[in-house]
Structure 1
Amino acid sequence: MLSGWKSLGVGMGIMLAAWNGLVAEEQKPREQIGEVFGKPVYRDQIANPDPAALRDQVLQLFLVPLMERYQEEHAAELTPTEAELATAEKFFNEQHEERIRKEKPAMTKRLAELNDLLAAGKLPEEESLQRTRERSILIIRLTPPGRDVATMLLRNWKLQKSLYDRYGGGRILFQQGGLEAFDASLKWLKAEEERGWFKITDAKLRTTFYEYWTTMDHGAFLTADEKRIRKEFLEPEWLPKKK
């Protein structure tokens, strides 16, 4: 009986210690590293402190809210018109057709063969998976960009053009998802910081936040070539022609 009570006492002690530890953990103050529009940002919001992943997380915490607010404030200006969407869609679809013109007959023939093979249902499981993947790739390659891609590219272009016009122009960065108003974006962020819309109180994280614009080597994708900027960014051929 006594040994049972002792065991119970030990068990209760362990549970109490664990509970106290949880309470202490809950009461431990969160470390603030900055704020955006008056809303605190805490260190524990950075899920992965590994240097390779840190910059993207810091940008997610601070840049994304700033960009969302900018887009809300300039929504009318940044919304593509139907004429712009139709022109861009037509341009990119025609460009796609020209790009695959020589390969299209062979790809179309192969797609028909794969459809027949898979419809017959006689392939071994592993080969069926391989042929299904091959068919998916062919469908993607044959499908024109369409309205969704035109919308995405136009929205990004309008956003970047807006920053470019408002914050002094400068160099342009060629990225996979579209062109970026590189220097203008940095000036905009500095202006937002000076206005107090965001601040990063951890000096190292502030450096990490800005390194995309200050220390990262973008190579030949970053250009100050005025002719190229005018042709590919300021007056791209996929916009409606000015009358």
Structure 2
Amino acid sequence: MQYTKVQISNSIAKLVEEGRSNDYALDLYLKMRMMNDLGPEQPFITKVPLPAEVRIHLMGNGTISDSDIKLELASSKYPSPRLIVKLSPACTLYAEKVHSSMQLTINDKNHTVMFLKSYRAEDIALWMIRQKQRLADYMNDWDVELQTAYKKLKIDHMAFLGIRAIFADAMKDYPKLKYVVVEQKRRAKIMVHIPNTTLGVYIYAWWGSYKKQLPQQIESLKLLLDVHRKSSIKNFFIHHKK
């Protein structure tokens, strides 16, 4: 699977928005970058290599130290041997044969699982060597990616503050109106309650469209409030999604 730059950026921005740790996001980022460097599968290859076979092609490669290449024997915790390749103090690849594919993870994290089916032991070894060589470039790009994600998060929060200010200013002529503005993913949720009634209004203001949509939503709300003032309607609920 190939990940586009947009897919990578959106994935990291989503993790930052969800409050995931930088280490968690970094591991996923490295997975996507490394998968993009796998190269095409070889359909004629039907037998998955063993970790020990990959290790043979790695030993003495001159890029990854032999002391950073280990074969962990099968145990009660890991039913099959695992190849452990340390690319840096903070990045280690784990490879084991699982059914009909070679399963790899970064730092032994479940969210970084990669399945390699149609690759030779030599192909996988060369790929691991390339990842060692390119890790510094990945990390340089990661710094930019993370800054972009946090910048986007800040921009989204500024949009939320803008929505809250616009709504507060628009409602200043309704001093008895009670409402709450909640920041959500990619939008603000405005929950309005009119005292002494069971009337409720939900307004969703999206970051990308609130400047155009919110004024219309506010006008609809004001119309509803004015109608309510002039009528005896006390018991209904509005769910506004525009």
Give the helix-richer structure, 1 or 2. 1
Give the strand-richer structure, 1 or 2. 2
TM-score normalized by the length of structure 2: 0.24
